[in-house]
Structure 1
Amino acid sequence: MRRPWSLRARLVAATIGLLAVVSAVIATVTTIALSSYLYDQLDHQLAATAARSAGPGAPTDGVSFLAQPGQPIGTIGGLVDANGEITDAAVSREPGGPGPADPADRLTTLDEDQIAALEKVEGSAKPSTVEVPGLGEYRVVTLDSPHGASVLVGLPTAQVAGTVDTLIVVESLVAGTGLLAAGIAAAVAVRLALRPLRRVAATASRVSELPLSSGEVSLTERVPDADPRTEVGQVGTALNRLLGHVGAALKARHDSETRVRRFVADASHELRTPLASIRGYAELTRRGHESIGPDTRHALGRIESESTRMTGLVEDLLLLARLDSGRPLAMTDVDLSALLVDTFSDAQAAETNASSPEPLAAGADGAVPTEADDAAGSAEPLAAAAAADEEAAGSAASGPATPSDAAANSSSSSGPAAAAGHRWVLELPDEPVTVRADRDRLHQVLANILANARVHTPAGTTVTGRVEHVDAGAVVVIRDDGPGIPPHLLPQVFQRFTRGDSSRSRASGSTGLGLAIVEAVIGAHDGEVSIDSEPGATTVRITLP
């Protein structure tokens, strides 16, 4: 596809084209006018020459009238009989030598071809043009002579044609030089005229590069020297007004976001104490020595569970508020291999615990077990899982975990629960992959991603974790072969309160803050996170410097 011309190129080309058309018209008219004038002059000269040759005082011996003084060199003369045939014809020429010359020496007899060309001309007193072989183009007339035969006289047009050709050459040179000079002048003039437009474009380009989507934006860019008296200046003035309105809107948005964040942070902070009190009093009442009924015990357990869930939501909101405000992170050297082992072990233990709930049946004392009791009852297997995690973390700290170790760790959960749950696979490098990061925050990031994979994919799904060295740092890749993220939801998965399931139930719903925390934490580490998803393959890629 041909590259489109710029506005400056089009203006210069249009100017040169217009000048070229005007120059061509002027040159054509001038050439035609001069040619007509010169041919009129030649015809007048031809008429005068014919009058002298066929007049009363003209010589009667053949074409000797061509040698008379005053006859132009190169004049053709001939005698035409009553049948229109030329009986005698010659052309005048320069004499052969110095001094008086015989008139015959100034004449050259025409040959048969030349005479035949002249005989084709209709005998008339009106000049006509004929091409004479060997002599060129002539203007000829035929006049009746008082001595009997008609006289044919012709003058060459070579001088007229040479003058016209010279004029055309001169006009072409002048027009070419003028067009070149006009093109240079037009390019300079257009460049100067478009300078304000370039300033407008440069301002718009700088504004387009500003991060306007979030955060505080200082929109100070303006078009300089915008003169409202010109068309381009009016565009610049309108753009300046637009930028002013946009800047005011961005400031209002930032102020509103700041107030909302401050409110969320304050509310989250203030809610932590009453939630802790509610949970503590519920647990204290449930574990007290006073006898309570099974319904009350179940209700107290529900209060503890919901207060715990509400505390987690408050903590998430408070973490996001702190990250938005730019709170510093506790940066240490973190081995990503060991961290991935820990989070995968936690996810596996959480799935094992969630897949084996105790039935809500009355115990020996008639009490109904609660979620807190379930958690207490599962302390032993969790402790075993924690011990296994510590062992895996210790091995990762003392020596790099290998893919075989990861496979052994992922398959360490056997039995019906493991068979009905997910398959957790680790692919770790032989050498530790260490980055400078906040370990607790990275642990939360990986835990959130694995929780999404565990909750939103069916049993039997394989979740694979991998750590890689790259030139700019390290990459953590978590992939599952579940059903994938709906295409309409993929562009907004990192937005806050975006949920894959619109349900708000504890079993299937979520707060929609997990991936928002992931993006905020990775952004605070100056890293990048991305998600690619299609049916059968969802990949989360985290890049850390």
Structure 2
Amino acid sequence: MRSLQARIVLTTVVLLLVVCAVVGVGAALSLRHYLTQQLDGDVTRTLGFAASGPQGAGGGPPPPPDAGGGFGASSPTDRIQVRVVDGRIVSAVALTFRNADVPLSPADVEPLLAVSPDDEPGQGPPQAETVEVPALGKTYRAAARTAADGSVVAVGVSTDRMDATLARLALNETIIFAGGVLVAGVVAAFATRTTLRPLHRVSATARRVSELPLERGEVQLRDRVPEADADPRTEIGQVGVAFNRMLDHVARSLAARQESETRVRQFVADASHELRTPLAAIRGYSELARRRMGSGAAGTPDEVGAMLERVGSQTERMTLLVEDLLLLARLDAGRPLAREPVDLVRLVVDAVSDAHAAAPGHRWSLDLPDGETDVMVVGDPERLHQVVANLLANARTHTPEGTDVVVELARTDDRVRLVVRDDGPGIAPDLLPHVLERFARGDAGRARTTGSTGLGLSIVSAVVTEHGGTVEVTSVPGDTRTTVTLPAAPVRAELALR
């Protein structure tokens, strides 16, 4: 029984059978107790009449109108009476009350001698007992009492009609309960199927999702559990809600994976493109220098020197690009950076001086904390210098001459905040959410006018994250800010540096 529906129906039927059995047995026992009390009352009334003397003899009372009227009169031997004197049966009859008593053989009713007599009449009803009389083929409820003349009178009333009533009850209960359980089982099967139908739909959705090729490529995960089957007020609805939430997570993960694969492919294409240009220039100038030197033309040394200078510049450019790529690869691999106290004031001053020398057309300014000679952090000094240099190079590269570039440095209790802001044209809104990603560039045509590789801010983000900090970029025309937050160095590190 692996089906949930079958198990539920089977459990329901079994429980109903148990309940019906308990109810049936309880009803039968209650009815048996009630009928036994009636039989005992019949025995008591009959015994009271029989023990008070023969009808009409010695002034004995007449028989009560209901004496023997409980379950009797269906058979001549339904009621029997035995009179015993000194342990010997002197009379044995079948009582009919309305007709003459029918004599019985003393040997046939001998089992009634085992009934203990009630020696104190008037002290309550005698205790009836169940007695088997094999000679008559019956079972009796019997009681005995000592009569006024000293004899012992025993009376028995047959239990045949009570047993027949109980047998008919058992048969009726079996038929009724069997029919009820059968009907309940059919109803439970239909009700369970209807109740579990939403679960079947959830299962069908899961089956369709499981058959989708999720291992590669762009996957559109549109299947969801219907809203009618995702009611959180029901157990199946809670499963539907959880399943839809899981599908949402899977869809976002698949989208992130596809985006990552796209970035990897774009990374390979960009890296190939970036490396192809300096390599082609190196190869061209090297070939041209070789030909000029081989031809022996006049002025060859000057031309060769210019060509070799171009070779050197292109080699330096390619080296810087390769170093940036290797740095990102090392950071991705989790390789640790150096950890030592770093004075950010000195580092920022040096970086701004270098930026001013590289772009004198921009207006550079510093906003340092008042009353502090240094702002300390713990990290890799070379990488932190690269962070500041990249931020300044990014501001220089993407803004026109005459742009104001301000570098702010401040410290709170346990954080250091570095802000580089400019009043240039700003960053395009569609590029701003991706500006910290690798090869994020505003010119899709890959113009070489700016010389940007799109790795500067991604290196900033990776290095700052490795130092336990954060990077935030905001931009509107006339106000572009890049905010770097780093953990401040403990006081002991600052004192050790001083």
TM-score by length of 1: 0.44
TM-score by length of 2: 0.48
